[in-house]
Structure 1
Amino acid sequence: MMKYLCLVYLEERILNGFPAPERRAISDEAMAYCDKLKKAGQLLAASPLHPAETATTVRVREDKTTTTDGPFAETKEQLGGFLMIDVPDLNDAIRIAAQFPAARFGSVEVRPMKELGCAD
């Protein structure tokens, strides 16, 4: 088995442009899909994120920590949430990402996770 992080990107303005009942239906569909993955033993963790405007970017340069309100880069799509899955291979991870509701109007980046080998 291999762990993958599925990063869900979307344009917040598009999501917020859906009528409230449609946004609720998308959210309910995403939660039902996560429940299905959890029951199948494939979902390790998942969470939506608050809007990008609530982000704080932290940088350390020459031992000095600075913070900036908002995300690091100005992009059309923002990171909206994630799924951490454990599946046999990339094909399974892609299949799972393609079925996540936000993939229909945003994108899902699938990245294999490295095992750190740290002692517990």
Structure 2
Amino acid sequence: MKYLALVYYDEQIMDRLSQQEWDALNQECKACVARLSEGGHYITGSPLLPTSTATTVRVRDNRVTTTDGPFAETKEQLAGFYMLEAQDLDEAIALAGKIPPARYGSVEVRPARELMEKGNQAGGNAANTTGATL
């Protein structure tokens, strides 16, 4: 089963890291990806640029509007993600616990659901049809 591990941390705390600390953390993250890949658990992932580069998109009454910045002000900001393959939630949590930035913030683990084709829905509203609103 696929699990999305969302990495959150306080950007202000991370900004206070020295260049040496930042580089060391990035090397740890690369090593973590290598270990996850070797174990067949890593599907994809990516760090994100700071929230100052974010744009929030909304559609209301068929009109698209944009706002600079993230959707909501929070203590911790979304910093990146890892898409993992795991047997179950327990294994996904164990894998997420090895993601280095978890020391600075948190990692939210959420099961990913597959979009089902119309007529093959399982679990009621838990499975959307292809092309349906998520």
> Which range, TM-score by smaller chain?
over 0.9
In the alignment, which residue of structure 1 is the partner of 2:121? Answer: none
CA distance in 1, matches of 2:51, 2:96: 21
TM-score normalised by length of structure 1:
0.95
1:36 offset after TM fit, Å? Answer: 1.1
In the alignment, which residue of structure 1 is the partner of 2:110? Answer: 111
Higher relative contact order (CA 8 A, sep 6+): 1
In the alignment, which residue of structure 2 is the partner of 1:3? Answer: 2
TM-score normalised by length of structure 2:
0.85
1:116 offset after TM fit, Å? Answer: 1.2
The answer for unaligned runs of 5 or more in structure 1 is none
Residues 27-60 of structure 1 show CA distances to partners (whole Å, capped at 9, x for unaligned) of 1001110111112111000100000010000000
Secondary structure at the counterpart of residue 67 of structure 1: strand
CA distance in 1, matches of 2:85, 2:64: 35
CA distance in 2, matches of 1:14, 1:101: 15
Give 1 or 2 for the bigger CA radius of gyration: 2
Taking only aligned residues, the RMSD between alpha carbons, in angstroms, comes to: 1.1
The answer for unaligned runs of 5 or more in structure 2 is 118-129
**Aligned positions, number:** 118
Residues 37-96 of structure 1 show CA distances to partners (whole Å, capped at 9, x for unaligned) of 112111000100000010000000001100001001011110000000011011111011
CA distance in 1, matches of 2:49, 2:97: 22
